[in-house]
Chains A and B, each alone.
Chain A
Amino acid sequence: MTVASGAAGLPVEWAGVSFAYEAGADVVRNLSLRVAAGEPVALAGANGAGKTTLTRMAMGLVRPRAGRVAVGDWDVASRRPDEMARRVGYVFQHADQQLFARSVREDVGFGPRQLGRSDAEVPAVLEELALSADAEVHPYDVRAPVRKVIALAGVLAMRPAVLILDEPTAGLDRELRGRVVAALRRRRDEGITIIAISHDRAFIGEMAQRVVTMREGRIVER
């Protein structure tokens, strides 16, 4: 079974970025990091290290108070999140929160439709993630771990050049985890840039070429 590849991967760069929530202390401090096009990188570190904030910057969900973020030749500061969705597929840790359509198939096709693209990719992605049997089922009639896989399918169907994943294997049993890892491995091999926040040591070992460790808003190991 072949899944059509998306665009080749794009580089992602954070240059001297700092960020604080409201009046609090900086959760990301003068951080610079470049992920090359097609490079699979794991972001590691304790809870509260700033990993999620860093990835949210790349999607334009938060704006750094200093520094610059770029995805390819796009300066993220001049783009809305729905525009960044054309290049970046962001899979939230609790992505199942976003499911709403009447069927799994319809929900997976939502992203491509929003981007004005064909949803021809949807059947292939459903088959790839072994969701075809549930294609006509309401997303809330399947178990929560499977909903997480559905949310990933929805992002993969958008054919992004960069994939950002927040804890993609958390809460998944061996079988579901296997489906997710296989799909991500395929994207990695196709040259799509992958940035994954993960505490799953086995997943990091299987997927990442490089591990960037953060602590208190800074990179301590790259």
Chain B
Amino acid sequence: MTACVSLAAVTFTYPGVDRAALSDLSLDVAAGEIVAVAGAAGAGASTLLLVATGLAPRLIGGTLTGSRTIGARRCGIVFARPWTQLTGLCSTVRDEVAFGPASYGRPREEVLAAAARALEQLGIAHLAARDPAHLSGGELQRVVVAAALALEPDLLALDDPAAELDPDAADALYAMLPALGRAGTAILIATPDLERVGEVATRALALDRGRIVRDGAPAVVLA
């Protein structure tokens, strides 16, 4: 299998901080893998997502040593708080979800079709005409995930994606991940919801102080 992202002996330190957030970390994530990333606050799970998607240090600064190869053509990332991920420029959910494909200059019909598919995948097609500013946190988070999927990423990073969702919506979100994996998307999920992620992950990592301390079957690692 082709590696979507390959990290070899990567150490990453945030700007102005002494302690490394990731230490000598090596990891290969293949297309179609669903990798749960577990760890206490400060263990480096969220940082791993930023490094794997190429956002760190490019956008947030800091220093990265070691070797990183991102084979994914396109990456998507979803954070726990939906309102910080809105563009603030779109008056409808459809436009918010279409923002990504539109940014790459794809033809209008293609953009709208990608947005419609993503809305269907998240079960929120009925929200297409709604103003994102008037949605609940749970609805908004599903819009954000749809916006990431509309770009058809090869690597999708999810940082506690169901924090704002009610149980049914959280179940539905996690339930759609295996289909994405089968379609070839590599998925990295950092979450404290070990029960849900354990049901869909094909692999799990446990992080402690920036290092991978366990890597293997979810049933073993997340126990």
Whether the complex brings A and B within 8 Å at their CB atoms is answered: yes
**Residues of chain A having any CB pair with chain B under 8 Å:** 45-48, 93-94, 143-146, 170-177, 199, 201
B63: interface (CB < 8 Å): no
User: Cβ of B220: which chain A residues have Cβ within 8 Å of it?
Assistant: none
Q: Evaluate contact between A173 and B163: CB separation under 8 angstroms.
A: no
User: Cβ of B168: which chain A residues have Cβ within 8 Å of it?
Assistant: 46
Q: Measured between C-beta atoms, what is the minimum distance from B60 to chain A in Å?
A: 14
User: Cβ of A143: which chain B residues have Cβ within 8 Å of it?
Assistant: 41-42
Q: Evaluate contact between A173 and B136: CB separation under 8 angstroms.
A: no
B194: interface (CB < 8 Å): yes
Measured CB to CB, the nearest residue on chain B to A176 is B41
Q: Evaluate contact between B41 and A170: CB separation under 8 angstroms.
A: no
Q: Evaluate contact between B192 and A173: CB separation under 8 angstroms.
A: yes
The verdict on A47 contacting B138 (CB below 8 Å), with A174-B192, A175-B41 known, is yes
User: Cβ of A176: which chain B residues have Cβ within 8 Å of it?
Assistant: 41
Q: Evaluate contact between A201 and B167: CB separation under 8 angstroms.
A: yes
**How many pairs, one residue from A and one from B, have CB atoms within 8 Å of each other in the complex?**
44
B165: interface (CB < 8 Å): yes
The verdict on A199 contacting B41 (CB below 8 Å), with A172-B192, A173-B192 known, is no
Q: List 24 A-B contacts (CB under 8 A).
A: A45-B166, A46-B138, A47-B138, A47-B165, A93-B137, A143-B41, A145-B41, A146-B41, A170-B163, A171-B160, A171-B163, A171-B192, A173-B41, A173-B192, A174-B40, A174-B192, A175-B40, A175-B41, A176-B41, A177-B192, A199-B165, A199-B167, A199-B170, A201-B167
B80: interface (CB < 8 Å): yes
Most chain A CB within 10 A, of B41, B138, B167, B194, is at B41
User: Cβ of A146: which chain B residues have Cβ within 8 Å of it?
Assistant: 41
B28: interface (CB < 8 Å): no
The 10 closest A-B pairs by CB, nearest first: A47-B138, A173-B192, A47-B136, A171-B163, A199-B166, A170-B163, A175-B40, A199-B167, A46-B166, A143-B41
- Distance in angstroms between the alpha carbons of A145 and B166 in the assembled complex: 19
Q: Evaluate contact between B137 and A47: CB separation under 8 angstroms.
A: yes
User: Cβ of B24: which chain A residues have Cβ within 8 Å of it?
Assistant: none
Q: Measured between C-beta atoms, what is the minimum distance from A139 to chain B in Å?
A: 14
- Distance in angstroms between the alpha carbons of A181 and B108 in the assembled complex: 50
Q: Evaluate contact between A174 and B167: CB separation under 8 angstroms.
A: no
B215: interface (CB < 8 Å): no
Measured CB to CB, the nearest residue on chain B to A169 is B192
